């Protein structure tokens, strides 16, 4: 007796090509970032100033955090110091 699969496996060539393209683009982006970082190090060393890359990374993280907080609808916490605390500043 022979068993056949009732639902054939569907192979989407478009999806596979897109997955490969994304992998290649990520690799190219990593190489571009590496080259730009090296260029930043060389130029700022020649000019005698600190590198821009650490500051750019810091500010990109700050902006990304603020975007995520805004997208989630979170509200900034307000800290109120109660000077009339009857429990002894607990």
Domain boundaries along the sequence of the chain? 14-72
The whole-angstrom separation of Cα 24 and Cα 75 is 39
- Residues 6 or more apart whose Cβ sits within 8 Å of residue 52: 40, 44
pLDDT value at residue 3: 53
Is residue 52 within 8 Å of 40, Cβ to Cβ? yes
Task: Enter the tokens of residue 84.
Answer: 């009339």
Q: Using one digit for the tens of pLDDT, what is the confidence trace for 51-81? A: 998 999 999 999 999 999 888 887 777 777 7
DSSP, res 86: T
pLDDT value at residue 73: 82
The mean pLDDT of 8-35, rounded to a whole number, is 82
């Amino acid at each position: 007796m022979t068993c056949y699969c009732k639902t054939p496996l569907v192979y989407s060539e478009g999806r596979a090509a897109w997955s490969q393209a994304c992998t290649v683009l990520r690799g190219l982006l990593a190489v571009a970032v590496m080259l730009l970082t090296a260029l930043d190090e060389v130029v700022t060393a020649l000019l005698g100033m600190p590198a821009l890359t650490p500051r750019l990374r810091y500010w990109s993280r700050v902006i990304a955090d603020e975007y995520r907080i805004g997208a989630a609808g979170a509200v900034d916490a307000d800290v109120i110091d109660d000077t009339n605390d009857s429990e002894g500043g607990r």
